[in-house]
């Protein structure tokens, strides 16, 4: 009697099956299928083709992606007055140049083909810590703040999620991808930005930094096993690329 010698997930990586061409790729694809043992004697064997229904689904998916890209490119080329006429949302980003969180939103908007009005804010001068700022702009006393058609949105992570949903870009498509995206977003906000950005601020932008406090943040950030996590994240993206479902920059 045999026990379990393998599972279905092992098959695509079975070196012996691939080298012996038991598994072969579909025509014009990287997806593998079982090589047919039947061929016409004297004729050259043709590559395996996918079922018509699957090909149609692939073509439809490709066409939708091309259409979306085309729309994005058109939107980016459109003059400002056309954009206004088409009732596109107008964005104002309250930022300061050294803010990585501001950069996250600026980059997201730019990659989505949007433009925005940058509203420079004197963070170093303490503007965001004034009662007026809390009353008029953000009761949390923080920056960045993104104004969308006059509505003020705060907290970078939910704004990124909202933009991803709105533009259909850079978001998870399946429940598993959504979970993975949230997992990294929370980790970034809590562990990476929470410690590393605070250390950078204390170290570089504070006139008389409290060195002991800064060093505590630095040590906390250094303890995280960042490399394996990043390698895992990149592997996830690579997997999705293999499946032709998701690319970082599309």
Partner 1 sequence: MMAYLHYPADETGYDLAASHPAINAWLGRMAAHCRAGNRPTICCPASA
Q: Give dist(CA 69, CA 75) in Å, integer.
A: 10
Of the candidate spans 27-35, 44-52, 77-85, 112-120, the one that interacts with partner 1 by CB under 8 A turns out to be 112-120
Q: Which residue, 26 or 201, is less far from partner 1 as judged by CB?
A: 201
Query: Are the C-beta atoms of residues 142 and 223 closer than 8 Å to each other?
Result: no
Residue 74 CB, nearest distance to partner 1 (Å)?
17
Site string for partner 1, 197-226 (x = CB under 8 A): x-xx--xx-------------x--xx---x
**Quick one: 10 or 239, whose CB is closer to partner 1?**
239
Q: Which stretch binds partner 1 (CB under 8 A): 7-15, 61-69, 78-86, 192-200?
A: 192-200
Q: How far apart are the first and last CA of the chain?
A: 50
Among 97, 124, 158, 243, the residue binding partner 1 under the rule CB under 8 A is 97
Q: Number of helices and strands (H, E) in the chain?
A: 10, 6
> Is the dihedral angle over the CA atoms 210, 216, 222, 225 positive or is it negative?
negative
Question: Sign of the C-alpha dihedral, residues 18, 22, 23, 24?
Answer: positive
Q: 220 — phi, psi (to 5°)?
A: -60, -45
Residue 214 has φ and ψ, to the nearest 5°, of -60, -40
Q: Which of 30, 36, 74, 110 binds partner 1 (CB under 8 A)?
A: 110
Pattern 159-188, partner 1, x by CB under 8 A: -------------------------x---x
Q: Does 128 bind partner 1 (CB under 8 A)?
A: no
Task: Classify 148 as helix, strand or coil.
Answer: strand
Please, what is the minimum distance in Å from the beta carbon of residue 174 to partner 1?
20
């Amino acid at each position: 009697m045999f026990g379990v010698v393998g599972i279905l997930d092992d098959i695509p990586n079975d070196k012996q099956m691939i080298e012996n061409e038991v598994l072969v790729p579909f025509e014009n694809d990287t997806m593998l299928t079982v090589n047919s043992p039947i061929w016409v004697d004297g004729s050259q064997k043709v590559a395996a083709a996918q079922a018509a229904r699957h090909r149609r689904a692939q073509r439809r998916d490709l066409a939708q992606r091309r259409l979306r890209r085309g729309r994005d490119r058109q939107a980016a080329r459109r003059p400002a007055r056309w954009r206004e006429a088409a009732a596109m949302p107008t964005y104002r980003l309250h930022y300061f140049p050294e803010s990585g969180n501001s950069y996250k939103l600026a980059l997201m908007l730019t990659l989505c083909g949007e433009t925005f009005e940058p509203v420079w804010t004197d963070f170093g001068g303490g503007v965001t810590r004034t009662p007026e700022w809390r009353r008029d702009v953000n009761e949390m006393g923080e920056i960045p703040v993104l104004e969308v058609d006059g509505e003020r949105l705060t907290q970078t992570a939910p704004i990124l999620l909202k933009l991803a949903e709105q533009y259909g870009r850079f978001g998870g498509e399946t429940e598993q991808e959504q979970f993975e995206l949230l997992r990294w977003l929370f980790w970034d906000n809590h562990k990476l930005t929470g410690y590393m950005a605070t250390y950078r601020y204390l170290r570089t932008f504070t006139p008389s930094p409290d060195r002991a406090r800064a060093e505590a943040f630095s040590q906390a950030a250094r303890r995280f096993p960042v490399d394996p996590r990043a390698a895992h994240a990149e592997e996830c993206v690579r997997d999705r690329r293999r499946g032709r479902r998701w690319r970082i920059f599309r």
